[in-house]
Amino acid sequence: MCGIVGVCYSSGSAEHALIAGLRSLEYRGYDSAGVALHAEGMPRRRAEGRVDDLVAVIDRDPLPEARIGIAHTRWATHGVPAERNAHPHRFDRVTLVHNGILENHDAMRTLVENELRTNGSTWSSETDSEVWAALLRVELGNASENPTVDDMLGAISRAMLRARGSYALAILHDAIPDRVFFARHESPLVVGIGESGNFVASDVAALLEETRDFVYLQDGQCGFVTSDECAIFDETLQPIELPIDTIEWDAESAEKGGYPHFMLKEIEEQPHVVGRTLQASIGSGNQILPDFAIPDEELARYGRIIILACGTALHAARLGKYLLEEAAGIPVTVDFASEFRYRSPMVGQNDLILAISQSGETADTLGAYRVAIDKGARPIAICNVRGSSLCRLSNATILTQCGPEIGVASTKAFTGQLLAIHLLALRLGRARGTLDDRAVEARLGQLRIARHAMEQLVGGAARDHVARIATQFAHKPIYFFLGRGPDYPIALEGALKLKEISYVHAEGYPAGEMKHGPLALVSKDMVCVVLCGDSPTYEKVLGNMQEVKTRGGTVVAITNEDKSEAISMADEVIFVPKTDAFVAPLLSVIPLQYLAYFVALERGCDIDKPRNLAKSVTVE
Ligand code: AGP
């Protein structure tokens, strides 16, 4: 939900690396930003707003040269977006940045006031993060003025045992000028091991300019980095050795590559993502997911799949129900992760629990996943970030090969998830004997056809056509997206894309449900986007289109070139190549992504960083 960076250079100024890191992390939150350097007086600069606003503050009031520092970009949870609530927070001689929520901050605030015999005037912000700094001050006790490294580690360890909630912390102490301390629990934190120094950050994207060698910290771990050392400990301060992972991504792939927005770049990367994921997931002899950790004989034993996710990933999960039940003959239950975790879910050892998450850090998905694992379900996952919390909870993960997805609105990760589900369905179908080699081969062929068909839908005339339609309807107040069968989850996804970046009210609905109420909303102000390509329910969907048209609604049909009835009925038509109904969603989602993009562009919205949202929702 927030982004943190810590830099420990061997020489030179840390300021540039800190600011560059914040820019790469802004997708995680952009209410305010701040930086602190380890120099005389621990100078800080903070600003409400974006990283650009922080840079403007620094330009007006330059920072001294320092090779060590920490920085933060915020998505507000406790305390309104304001400079006083911007990180880094300082208490006595402790300065820190925090991503997460200190759930027992009231109790800790009282503890600090009692221990230090202060009163409410102790506090300079309304944030829980400031309480973390104060808690460390309390745990330092008599050593607080000039602690040794061991004093600091002891204080961090004791504070970790008291604190409840999620945290990724980067910490400085006035009296220890050569290192950044860190600690993590539930919020992501990586250590970067570089030539010019060592680093910590919320995710690798922040440090790709500095290094591609990373250590993924796990829950309950703390430690420090100096310019040439990295020390990691568990909560009891037992030393830990963690493997160093080298990222293939380079800084370039995380940049815009000439596009005006990350979202447009990521929409147009999708054919490449599908091709790369296919290539990475098919072994010799068409072996599906050769690296998947669960052998076929075990896979065949499970009697049900439960899929948990949030947002766009949940729409992929809903499509997964159609694909998995059809291909593998196994019952599939899909649930909002935020709902599943707080009811008394019926789940046990006969169940595969599948979590789908681009970031692998979504608090609701992780929380629900842990509930199911604790009840004995076998965890599997689909994720885009190697080393994420989700990947560590499941030792059977299908990694989508999407590269970093920066735009808050998920696009290429969604198609990567769809593809991963297709492959899991083929693997399960073969394991359960519902698909023979010929059927698997035929479906792989369909996926390869879809991958090439996607090329026809990105860029050029296809993009310009949707842009024209989007501009024409950009100021309509309400949109409905309708589909049946596998098109229904795509209708949900089209609605979510539109609402989250253009702030227009949009609903995705099963086409057959309109007559049970929503038809009352139809008017000339409503745009109804209907997914009506080749499918067993095409005739039914035509009837639903008619219901909308006769009541004055505007219909945009997403269909194939041979669907003359839909073409003649619609006000506007967007063609997609004809493919098998089960792979058609990989194609039909692309014009819906473009539609959302160009409506938001026309409405002057901030496409990559839409208001009130963040890329990775690591708090509940
Ligand atoms: C989708 O465009 C949104 N950004 C959001 O719904 C997102 O899909 C959801 O928060 C889940 O994120 P995850 O895939 O990283 O778990």
**CATH number of the domain to which 281 belongs:** 3.40.50.10490
Three-state DSSP state, 418: helix
* 85 and 153 share one domain: yes
* 109 and 201 share one domain: yes
Residue 168 forms part of a structural domain: yes
pLDDT at 620: 76
* 2 in catalytic set: yes
Query: Which of 543, 547, 569, 544 shows the shortest CA–CA distance to 556?
Result: 569
CB-based contacts of 224: which residues, under 8 Å, 6+ apart?
149, 152, 153, 179, 180, 181, 182, 230, 231
213: which strand partners? Answer: 246
* 380 and 517 share one domain: no
pLDDT at 283: 82
34: which strand partners? Answer: 46, 72
pLDDT at 275: 86
**DSSP-derived pairing of the beta strands 190-193 and 397-399:** unpaired
Residue 619 forms part of a structural domain: no
Question: For the residues of 304-361, what is the DSSP string, one character each?
Answer: EEEEEE-HHHHHHHHHHHHHHHHHH---EEEEEHHHHTTS-----TTEEEEEEESSS-
- Residue closest via CA to ligand 1's atom 3 equals 409
Buried b (16+ CB within 10 A) or exposed e, 138-159: bbbeeebeebeeebbbbbbbbb
Which of 340, 362, 406 should be mutated for ligand 1, with most atoms under 8 A from CB? 362
Does the Cβ of 617 fall within 6 Å of ligand 1?
A: yes
* 522 and 505 share one domain: yes
* 49 and 126 share one domain: yes
pLDDT at 616: 82
Residue 616 forms part of a structural domain: no
Residue 615 forms part of a structural domain: no
Q: What is the pLDDT of residues 15-42, one digit of tens each?
A: 999 999 998 887 777 788 999 999 999 9
pLDDT at 78: 72
Other Cβ atoms within 10 Å of 323 Cβ, number: 25
Residue 614 forms part of a structural domain: no
Does the Cβ of 589 fall within 6 Å of ligand 1?
A: no
* 431 and 283 share one domain: yes
Ligand 1 midpoint to CA 616 (Å): 7
Listed residues 201, 224, 253: the one ending a domain: 253
* 385 and 463 share one domain: no
Please count the structural domains in the chain: 3
pTM above 0.85, yes or no: no
pLDDT at 541: 95
Listed residues 401, 424, 455: the one ending a domain: 455
Residue 617 forms part of a structural domain: no
* 119 and 226 share one domain: yes
Three-state DSSP state, 220: coil
* 374 and 333 share one domain: yes
d(CA 13, CA 29): 25
Does the Cβ of 144 fall within 6 Å of ligand 1?
A: no
* 188 and 264 share one domain: no
Q: Which stretches in the chain have pLDDT values below 50?
A: none
Listed residues 396, 424, 455: the one ending a domain: 455
* 211 and 67 share one domain: yes
Residue 612 forms part of a structural domain: no
Other Cβ atoms within 10 Å of 463 Cβ, number: 19
* 443 and 571 share one domain: no
Does the Cβ of 408 fall within 6 Å of ligand 1?
A: yes
d(CA 74, CA 92): 22
Residue 567 forms part of a structural domain: yes
Does the Cβ of 401 fall within 6 Å of ligand 1?
A: no
Q: What is the pLDDT of residues 247-289, one digit of tens each?
A: 877 766 667 767 889 999 999 999 988 988 888 888 878 889 9
601: containing domain = 456-605
